Amino acid sequence: MFNTALSWSDLVFLAHGAGMTLAVTAVSVAAGTVLGVLFGVIRFQLGPYWAAPLTFVLDVFRSVPLLIQLVLGNALQSIMKLGWPPFTTSCVVLSLYTAAYCTEIVRGGIDSVPTTTRRAARSLGMSWFQDMRYIVAPLAIRVSLPSWIGLTLGVMKDSALVLWLGLIELLRASQILVTRLQEPLFILLICGAIYFIISLPIARLGGYLEKRWSPND
C-alpha cells in the first residue's frame, strides 16, 4: 500500500511555485520578444558590419550559461544599489537572455522573405513601414513561430535556475518539500507532471497556429 505524507497544503505550495514559474516566464518572454523584434529588425536593416556591436553583446548572452548571468546580474544590481527584489532581477536577466535568441529568430524570419516580394511591394508605392507590416511580418511570423514556441518552452524550463536568487518557483518548492518529507521520487514526479501540464497548452497552441498558417492551407 502506497503511503505519503504529502498533504493538500503541500500541493497548494507547489501550485504557488508553478504560478511563480508562469509569472517569470510570461514577463521574460513578453519583454524578450519585444526586444528581440526590435533588435532583429535592426540587425537585418544595418547588416552584419554596422550591427557588429549589437551582435557581440547578444552573442555574450547566448554564450554565457544562464546561471552565471543570473548570479552576475544579481551581484551587479547589488553593487549599483538598485534594490531590486529577486523577481525583478530574474525577469530582467531572463528577458535579455530571451531577447538574444529571439533576435536571431526574427532576423531569420525576415531574411526568409524573398527580396523580389519586398521589391514588388515597394514598387506598388508602399513605404518601408507598410512593407514590414503588411508583407514581411505575416510571412516572417509563419517561419519564426515554431522556433519562438521552442524558445518559450525552453525559457519556462530555464526559469528553474532563478531558485539560486531565492525565488520560490516550482522546482524550489519541490526541493523544499523533498527536504521536509523525504519523498524525492514522488514529489519530483508531481513536479514533472506540473511542468508538463503548464507546457502542453503552449505547445498545442503553437502546433495549431503552425497548421492554420501553413502555406498549403
If pLDDT is split at 50, 70 and 90, which confidence band does 2 have? Answer: low
Burial of 87 (0-12, 13-18, 19+ CB in 10 A): middle
Distance between CA atoms of residues 116 and 111, nearest Å: 12
The chain-wide mean pLDDT, for the chain, equals 89
If pLDDT is split at 50, 70 and 90, which confidence band does 184 have? Answer: confident
Q: How far is CA 197 from CA 22, 92, 94, 194, 201, in A?
A: 12, 26, 22, 5, 7
Domain contains 3:
no
pLDDT in tens, 73-98: 999 999 998 989 999 999 999 999 99
Cβ proximity of 58 and 98 under 8 Å: no
Instruction: Take residue 201 and report the three cell numbers written for it.
Output: 497548452
Report the residue count for the chain.
217
- Provide mean pLDDT across the span 38-60: 89
Residue 174: CATH number of its domain? 1.10.3720.10
> What is the domain range of residue 171?
8-212
The predicted model scores a pTM of 0.90
Domain contains 142:
yes
Domain contains 167:
yes
Please tell me the predicted confidence (pLDDT) of residue 105: 95
Domain contains 118:
yes
Helices 86-111 and 52-63 cross at an angle (nearest 10°) of 120
Burial code of 107-126, b = ≥16 C-beta within 10 A, e = fewer?
A: bebbeebeeeebeebeeeeb
Cβ proximity of 148 and 37 under 8 Å: no
Q: Structurally, how many domains does the chain consist of?
A: 1
pLDDT in tens, 134-155: 888 888 988 898 899 999 999 9
Domain contains 217:
no
Residue 217: pLDDT over 60: no
Domain contains 169:
yes
Cβ proximity of 152 and 22 under 8 Å: no
Cβ proximity of 10 and 176 under 8 Å: no
Cβ proximity of 29 and 98 under 8 Å: yes
Cβ proximity of 151 and 105 under 8 Å: yes
Which residues lie closer than 8 Å to 178 by C-beta, 6 or more apart?
184, 187, 188
Domain contains 140:
yes
Domain contains 26:
yes
